Structure 1
Amino acid sequence: MSDQAKNERAPEDIEATEAKAAGERAEGSVGDDYEALVRLLKENEELKDKTLRAAADMENLRRRAARDVQDARAYAIANFARDMLSVSDNLRRGLDAVSDEARAAGGQALNSLIEGVEITERAMLSALERHGVKKLAPEGEKFDPNFHQAMFEVPNPDVPDQTVVQVVQPGYSIGERVLRPAMVGVSKGGPKAAAEKPAEPGPVNRQAEKDA
């Protein structure tokens, strides 16, 4: 098209061409802005996910550290407590070795000595208990291999099977851990422990059945 033809174009044609060009530029700009917005939203979601993961990791680390500190406090004396239990056992063996006849014939001096040993034993066990050490004396309870060590079986048809019927040596725990399992004798030949009763069904919703 010659310059003269261009100059001879109607003003409305020129305006329409310019409007079309402006519209095309606007569409291109909107498309670019939309793509940039989508990219920014995606980056924002990724950053949010990373932030949440980092916060969760920090919370898990905090809980783990708190649990480690709690365990260190609770179980720091475990080895010491175990050694003290050996001392307590020896005190008890010494007391048990003195017969009733010997106590009766021993006089005031022997009885005072025995009483002092008994007080020492009780004080030692009380001190351990204040630091979280608990005595396990499970006579009459169901045998639990996590806390008890079976030494022998006692045939008894009148007692539920696997029930602790005799404690040879008491056990001890600290926190949720076993310092020393209780040495026990368990029953054999009695009835099995009753199975747990199944849960009864709840009330039936009649209206819901009708609606169904």
Structure 2
Amino acid sequence: MATLVIGDDHQVFADALGTVLGQQGFTVLDIELTLGGTIAAVAALRPDLCLIDRHFADGEGTRAVARLRTAGEATKVIVLTADQDPAGMVLAMAAGAVGYVHKTRGLAALVYAITRAYSGDIVVALPADPGPRSRRDTDAVRLASFLTTRERQCLALLAEGLGTAAMARRLNISATTVRTHVQAVLNKLGVHSRLEAASLAVRHALVEGVIVG
């Protein structure tokens, strides 16, 4: 089973999580309450995976993903957070995280994410659907309905945090064609940046069920 380092500034939660994951068969090598301590632990212990919260008093977890991957070399990073901002998922995945799990999804979703990430997959578990769509949700879905199949695929890859070159490889098209599709996505959704488009897609579940590749 995978070896883990946990980084979370809420000690009660972190300790409880370490205990529960140990009972699930994972080996928890260390639990740290600061971002700096988490990075140091990853560098010293080289775990298979690091579970890290987004917000610490000494830094931003999603912005430290690259540092964690460098510190651990082969260590994979899963962001585990209670943050409702979908932009965090985009930032984390773009930086190289292999998972983004919302704390409200529960233990089963986290264990699944760890297991799949350890096997080489990328896993995202966002907050469960809160219920009926609001008018803003409906407007987003209406705008997304004007996207072509290829544009929807590009939007899905933006939501994964991929850049132009990576999108071109996944879709087997040129970088110029990717840029054209992405610009069309921005225009149709009425947003000004790739991050805004990705956040909109995640927030309103615009790319669920989209097949890429």
Could you state the TM-score of these two structures normalised by the residue count of structure 2? 0.23
- With normalisation by structure 1, the TM-score equals 0.23
Structure whose residues are more often helix by fraction? 1
Q: Please say which structure displays the higher CA radius of gyration.
A: 1
